[in-house]
Amino acid sequence: MRLIGNVIWLVFGGIITAIEYFIGSLLLMITIVGIPFGLATMRMGILALWPFGKEVVTHERAGGCLYILMNLLWLLTGGICTALTHLFFGILLCITIIGIPFGKQHFKLAGLALAPFGKDIVERR
């Protein structure tokens, strides 16, 4: 089921979303200051490429000063717009019964887009 969901996700927009994340990641990594943000965007791009069967897990150290500062900077510079975009598409997809699993994946991406630092993407068992 995961394979079918991921293939359908890729065909109907997942590949475009992932490419946008990867391009944004490369642009962020041009400067030394942007490398941590580029790495966070790269993780989101990987999740956007193959979201079914993966979940986002928060570290126990995610409440540290550096993670809070980086998440705050991320939130102010683009995290809100990214999360709202995923939220919009998630709501739009949840209108139909067939689109609910895909809407749930957008909600997962929206949660990660709000605060990507201090979180890992792991395989769901």
Query: pLDDT grade, residue 124 (50/70/90)?
Result: confident
pTM of the model: 0.85
Model pLDDT, residue 87: 93
The CA distances from residue 43 to 91, 94, 100, in Å, are 23, 25, 23
State pLDDT tens for residues 49-96: 999 989 888 887 777 788 889 889 989 888 898 899 899 999 999 999
State pLDDT tens for residues 31-58: 888 899 899 999 999 999 999 989 888 8
Q: For residue 65, count other CB atoms closer than 10 A to its CB.
A: 7
